[in-house]
A and B are shown apart, each in its own frame.
Chain A
């Protein structure tokens, strides 16, 4: 997919490589990397940075038995091979792992005006959810206290900042109150992750007319 215009930031890529992100963020980063070769290459260069650092690291003393104990572990265990590639679907492989399958396995719950969501269970330090926005509809206007990442898996949406198509990821900080509106023509499915609970501006979601591109 070479049409991706909105990518991960270096900070997210480095934190993913360092293994310091909340699980929900790890998931959305892994999902974007599954769709974006450019970010995958960057992520691997951050892994190379980790490798270079570890190569320079001060050694710790091993126990006397260390090598022999490792060989015993090896004797007891089979060789590992790469897992079979999973069936291509709307959901990238790491998301399928969490959901237990592709779209048909998602248990949607309506959040009003045709918009549906499904929370993906992760550690509690951040939240991941799938969003289903019918063509032409808007997600309830909301802001958030922390960082919110939104990855388009199918269709496209427009918000106050830009237009986002398949594979694009929006990185929104807490200053952005936004109203994503799905393009006409195809229902939009997104994966969103946020590290703080969402604040909805009003309980009654409304259509954001100015952003409907009819």
Chain B
């Protein structure tokens, strides 16, 4: 294995279809119009020296190293900024050019500290390389003149250093921050010799606007911006391409290694989801993999009041299997079940659901997608016939109007957020529907045309009102609807939405959004060109989550914004493999590929392959499992890679359910909150330690590759396999590739998927089968999966979670960039520098009424429970609305959320809880009790069993 060095073409690819032919160093080459001479030269294999150019960024033309001569033209133009022209004859290497380049390099080097031998970028430095390339052997000015070595380092960022003396002011970092990331955190301050890069107003990186995406570090040609891990460990020697295990964007990375030590994660330019970009989580926050809190040995105990006993895998597995069998004998076959994880691989979720259906003999399997995107599955399959987003991420480059509903892409899906912002800076228009003024509403060079700051819980009313405007103002794309949708359904729907009660004026009373804004937004979406909708958990996590998804699908159909590039309906998935875990049959009513368990033919195919009889009845969904546990009909559960106690709503009910179980098996990296109630703990392994695949929000299946041996001894799929075998359900896969082959054999939309194909193509988007051998970037081209698109009636039904005198405020929850989900991973990295605790955002007027000041401890109380945390006074939230995150277990924001849920899928209503906020002195009794329970429950007996 060796390092994977991406070819740097110097300037971005031109998308022109017109070809231009020129001669470079005697060789003819044809390239798209608009290509730079530098890039064209690279195409014929001639690498022109360069410092300020790199193909992730637009050409800048400042270093003057890339000069060329063009026959018949005066001077020596910079090849990075000079486009090709038909018939020109270019020379990249002449005596004159050599001298000029040497002169340029001499100037750079004379001001550069010459500590190459001990420099952390030694061997990985473009300045060093260019000195060699131009044949610099001596510096006529000497090294004694004025230089910048006194400037020192900024080490405030936990992950990278800024060593000012090494800066050559090439501006690449500044442009990366602007063009790639879109944060505009960096400037060049000072003039001439004194000029230097500076974050914000000469602030340290950590306290500046910088979001630590790493794009500047990636683009820096010198050691000026350098990963601290490189400084500490040294340069890597081999690399493996893998996929980020954090969010649903699915960024591809090169894991750059020295032996089995991970030196750094570098975003992979050929990654089709991220195109060479990353965010702070995937790029830097992998330290949890080697964190001391990881549990590496299996443990058991007969009751949760006892300390854990370390045992062998065999003992733990045998114990778990015998308990499950005992429970089934005593309470019936359907008294046990399990939960698959959207963080684990497709192969692993497939195996867990297979174990439950085949080994337990029932369908009590669900996944954490239940609590995030299950309404997407329901809503999109009703309307379009498939449970997935319609586009690839590249599609946004063709969008003219982007409608974001209940999503916060710059925090939740940062790399997609950056790609979206780029398109917005190019002129696409933005509409945001969100109770909070999220960053995307107004950020450098971006301003939403409309921000509909609705009252939480009124999504259906707003989206139906948008439809009302489209229908009543004659903005429907009738040709599209007639050709592609069920016309009768459409007519019924059009009459329904046209009713006066759905007008923006009528709904303004409860949505609190001025009608004119709704009208303006509807007109823009319907008439502004390619209209694309992106939505997130602000849509799904409501009692009408599924209805909103259908309302969104209706909008896209009515305006013809579906079935081509630049448009579509795109759920932004939370966790890395939410799409995959749903595809893999993790829902209790569906086998892999979204086929109902009652379908005899589908069941027969699985029965034949698995050699067992399958129950034809749907199983329990996660919230139903807790209810059944409390009620006494559900007694045992296998939970892989999921912290239901912290992530699920109404913590007290969840903990009552867990406490009622006779056998809870938790497989995880850490003793998470759920494990406080567990009887068997099976150590989990990280994405760095196993092979498999993840499927991102674009339905893109990508490889996860093992770069180091599992510290706990086994990959997660191997542990599931052991448990299945102990239950008497035979599994003997040698490698996850064989599991994928079985998935492909049983799932129509996956028949063309194999590890060989993924290795060859990098990734594929399902459906991938005979009809689409290389996958399907955009769905529903020419026709919907279900045939005719189906319009659904979407009546607004207010949630029963209502504010009143006791609980006058509405709490909505979300997340922030640096932390991930329940924080089990990110809290165990230096990312805590940005988010050490969860806080409550409250509007100044609500704070004032309650005598609350910035930083005060406040009690947040609902009818479910109460917790306490610090207050942050913010105008991002409207009066009457408060906001918090759920990344930290001490806060346990879900003690406060309720058990209301989506009517169709039971996806919990996280986004609306009626609360009261008051000043407090410290933790609530529940926090104290729980802290005590956690401490006791996490004890591990001193003498480990041999």
Same complex: no
Which B residues fall within an 8 A CB radius of A?
none
